[in-house]
Structure 1
Amino acid sequence: MITYKEKLSLLGDMIELSKVDGQLHDREYEFIKMVAEELNVRTADFEELFSLPNELLVFKSEFKRIEHFYRLALLSHCDNHHHDREHEFMYQLGLKLGLNPFSIKRVLKEMDNSPTRMIEADLLLGIFKEQHN
């Protein structure tokens, strides 16, 4: 079960990513707000995250770290304006989460090549599993 602090950290990472290109697009804000509502984060706490520095919280479970990385990668594509700074942010974040650099690059490439900018869960997990062998 994800703690309230972990929920706030996830949202903080999402906010930080959405600002990398210098502008918070309406679609990005709405997406983050929708996630906050799904996570049952109080509105006041959600709004406060926009003015607080973000503290990266690294999950112990590799699956949770992959899931966190993928959520943020989806956000980076939701405004249909994928910038190089967002790509670099995602790569650096993946490294901070302790994910394999080759897997990070491959996931981002697969998402860029996908018409929906999404990839199947089996493919996502398979990419990270490949590097374990």
Structure 2
Amino acid sequence: MDSYQEKISLLQEMIAFALIDGELHDREYDFLEIIAQELEIEKEVFLQLFQNIAEIIVIKDEFHRICQFYRLVLLMHCDGVLHEREQIKINEIGINMGLNPFAMKRVLHLMKTSPNRMVPSEVLLAVFSEQHN
């Protein structure tokens, strides 16, 4: 991650996605808070992001776009309820990120069928890498 503003933008995108179903579940909030800590975003700034919706900065590096897509998918699954709006929005976000739709679909399927709703990092990267061939 290059800049503090990019980190803020990533978190804003995740917050907006968490609210797509009209509700912020405790598990979603906890997950967002963990991500904020990982990104070294101060608690006060994190809380302000729920009030201030700003423009999302496009991630230039494909690896970081894949990581952000995976974070959003984890967020989508963390409340235990998959809403149709979340599924539509995650595809829209991935397409806007320039990610391969077939790889996204495969990752979503792998996560849906995984007992813990997670995909190992090497599998995640392999799914996106095989689409380059």
> Considering the TM-score relative to the shorter chain, is it more than 0.5?
yes
Q: Would you say the 8 A contact 1:28–1:79 is kept in 2?
A: yes
SS class of match (1:55): coil
Question: Residue 85 of structure 1 corresponds to which residue in structure 2?
Answer: 85
Q: Could you tell me which amino acid in structure 2 is paired with residue 21 of structure 1?
A: D
TM-score (norm 2): 0.94
Q: Could you tell me which amino acid in structure 1 is paired with residue 119 of structure 2?
A: I
- 1:87-102 equivalences under 5 Å are 87-102=87-102
- Provide the rounded CA distance (Å) in 2 between the counterparts of 1:2 and 1:43: 20
- RMSD (CA atoms): 1.2
Pairwise CA distance, 1:60? 1.5
Q: Could you tell me which amino acid in structure 1 is paired with residue 93 of structure 2?
A: L
User: How many corresponding residue pairs?
Assistant: 133
- Provide the rounded CA distance (Å) in 2 between the counterparts of 1:97 and 1:54: 17
- Provide the rounded CA distance (Å) in 2 between the counterparts of 1:13 and 1:70: 13
TM-score (norm 1): 0.94
Pairwise CA distance, 1:54? 3.8
- Over the matched positions of the two proteins, sequence identity in percent amounts to 49
Q: Unpaired segments of 5 or more residues in structure 2?
A: none
Question: Residue 41 of structure 1 corresponds to which residue in structure 2?
Answer: 41
SS class of match (1:50): coil
- Provide the rounded CA distance (Å) in 2 between the counterparts of 1:113 and 1:84: 17
Q: Could you tell me which amino acid in structure 1 is paired with residue 23 of structure 2?
A: Q
Q: Unpaired segments of 5 or more residues in structure 1?
A: none
SS class of match (2:21): coil
